[in-house]
Amino acid sequence: VPRPSRITLAVCQYAPQVGELESNAALGSEWIGRAAAAGANLIVLPELAASGYVFASSEEAERSSQPAAGGPTLTRWIEACHRDGVWVVAGFAESTPRGRFNSAALLGPDGVVGVYRKAHLFFDEKSYFEPGEGGFPVFDLPLGRVGLLICYDVWFPEAARVLALAGADIVCIPTNWVANFRRQVLDERGWTMGNYACVAIATQNQVFVAAADRIGTERGIEFVGCSCIVGPDGWMLTGPAARSDEALLVADLDLGRAVAARQRTPRNHTLLDRRPAVYGSLSAISPAAQD
Amino acid sequence: VPRPSRITLAVCQYAPQVGELESNAALGSEWIGRAAAAGANLIVLPELAASGYVFASSEEAERSSQPAAGGPTLTRWIEACHRDGVWVVAGFAESTPRGRFNSAALLGPDGVVGVYRKAHLFFDEKSYFEPGEGGFPVFDLPLGRVGLLICYDVWFPEAARVLALAGADIVCIPTNWVANFRRQVLDERGWTMGNYACVAIATQNQVFVAAADRIGTERGIEFVGCSCIVGPDGWMLTGPAARSDEALLVADLDLGRAVAARQRTPRNHTLLDRRPAVYGSLSAISPAAQD
């Protein structure tokens, strides 16, 4: 099937509520409908959109989790995909026989396309989730090749690089960027550092980047909004959204631009210009000597 | 010797002239003196500051090259280091028995501390230079641990990552960022994409980043200025400088901030949180399947 060259992508910025699975499921379906009505065929919801983020206990995390296959929230969102003829990337707490993961599901009209389990856990996520061991898969959809990252992953350039080398055109990032622990949350033009990290992923890898952040505060943890969509030459296409308001960002993407951006000059191709022979083994270098 | 916690770093933005080795040497000495007078003890000059950039022939490139040990321009700049008690990072065309390299020298009061040979060659550099095979060394100076990159290297996140994992606190980047081949050179606030790449290196690796670009035009190739200094939490400290004007940017750096920035939360350390086991082998992945 030839891949369409243009798609319409949306990111949804809103506030799920921790532990409120039923209303979070309804909220997600509503945002999927709103984005589809705006013309989107690929829609990104925030990290842990099914469960909320700041758990108070392992019991609450467990109660808020579900399997990827047949989980109640994902089942409802798949129904929304079927209803609207769209694909959705959404964060959920995944329960598995091997433990809980902070996961992102790629959902389509016919069901779960795939799941990415967050590799880099942030702060108290280390109490509630296992780190993902499955690497960084790329999903070959009719509308393009989609890779997934989650939140803190964007500070690890290895992750996006693996996606780009596996052929991703679009990196979708459900996120819950946290304002706490930061000396400075926004700069004078309303960008948070996560926005710069998204630009980095785009310009270093010549991929589209779509980050859907949440807003609001849970148990003293504040989220920063600032959802955004970045083009494959690194320039911001739309956003950052505001820090505290709901937002629906929509952008028409010409996927051919991701390929074109890799041809930096007539004599340069940014992926083929890599020099793996002089990178040492980034997989083996020990950080033990670090401060 | 205990390392000082604070240093003063300067980047010098000006226009060397291709082939004019004598005047380029004088110009570099002058800028070193100017930066030292402003209080700097670590000073960065542009890429190929000794030779200029746009060669018309291999003969011109050869005439404009010099060995690292005893080369006439470097000898003069070492004299300036000795005169002013400073360290200097400067780009030069390096002649060696194994061919010419687009190199950056780290110079101090007592001579050449080390040389980095550019790993990623841009556009017509591929006609005049060999790609560096020596990897990405970090130099342990009395004033801090310094890594070097050159220009196009900043689009390859592997390079800066190797420097950070080897303990760099400061990444100095002589550059000749080119306006040609770009659909958009600057954004509405006067940033070029190289500035975003510098922010990326800083925020992904918690290092200070200092990029010294040149200005002017040589044989139809236009350079974009926009030199900058970025802090280890990713925020711009000073710059970007203007696109076409000479500029001296100076910043006081507290090197302890690079260490502190790695401790993202009480439970996170951005270098120790890496997950090499799931990165696959970034050194071995073939890009053959890419567009």
pLDDT in tens, chain A (291 residues): 455 689 999 999 999 999 999 999 999 999 999 999 999 999 999 999 999 999 999 999 999 999 999 999 999 999 999 999 999 999 999 999 999 999 999 999 999 999 999 999 999 999 999 999 999 999 999 899 999 999 999 999 999 999 999 999 999 999 999 999 988 999 999 999 999 999 999 999 999 999 999 999 999 999 999 999 999 999 999 999 999 999 999 999 999 888 889 998 999 999 999 998 899 767 655 544 444
Q: Is-contact B89 B45, C-beta < 8 A?
A: yes
Query: pLDDT at position A141, please?
Result: 93
Instruction: Residue A238: name the closest of A9, A78, A6 by CA.
Output: A9
pTM: 0.95
Residue in A with minimal Cα distance to B291? A259
Annotated catalytic residue: which of B12, B81, B151, B228? B151
**How many interface pairs between A and B have CB atoms less than 8 angstroms apart?**
208
Q: Check A283 against B287: CB less than 8 A apart.
A: no
Annotated catalytic residue: which of B12, B47, B125, B198? B47
Q: Is-contact B88 B81, C-beta < 8 A?
A: yes
How many CA atoms are closer than 13 Å to the CA of B57, on its beta-carbon side? 3
**Is B148 strand, coil or helix?**
strand
Strand partners, A115: A105
A133 CB neighbours in chain B (<8 A) are: 277-278
Residue B30's H or E segment, with its range, is helix B21-37
User: What is the set of active-site residues of A?
Assistant: 47, 118, 151
To test the contact with chain A by mutation, choose from B117, B149, B155 the residue with the greatest count of A C-beta atoms within 10 A, namely B155
**Which of residues 33 through 62 in chain B touch A, CB cutoff 8 A?**
none
Work out the pLDDT band at B4, boundaries 50, 70, 90.
low
Q: Check A203 against B132: CB less than 8 A apart.
A: no
Q: Is the ipTM of this complex over 0.85?
A: yes
B158 CB neighbours in chain A (<8 A) are: 157, 161, 274, 276, 279, 282
Distance CA A237, CA A249 (A): 10
Tokens 């230079």 sit on residue: B129
Residue B209's H or E segment, with its range, is strand B208-212
The C-alpha of A26 sits at a distance from chain B's nearest C-alpha, in angstroms, of: 33
Per-residue pLDDT, averaged over B157-175, amounts to: 96
Q: Could you say which of A133, A203, A285 has the minimum Cβ distance to residue B155?
A: A203
Instruction: Determine contact: A196 vs chain B, CB below 8 A.
Output: yes
Residue in A with minimal Cα distance to B267? A123
* Integer angstrom CA distances of residue A208 from A4, A96, B249: 15, 31, 33
CB neighbour burial string for B229-260, b if at least 16 within 10 angstroms, e if fewer: bbbbbbbbbbbbbebeebbbbbbebebebbbe
Distance CA B235, CA B225 (A): 19
Per-residue pLDDT, averaged over B83-95, amounts to: 98
Work out the pLDDT band at B90, boundaries 50, 70, 90.
very high
Residue in A with minimal Cα distance to B163? A279
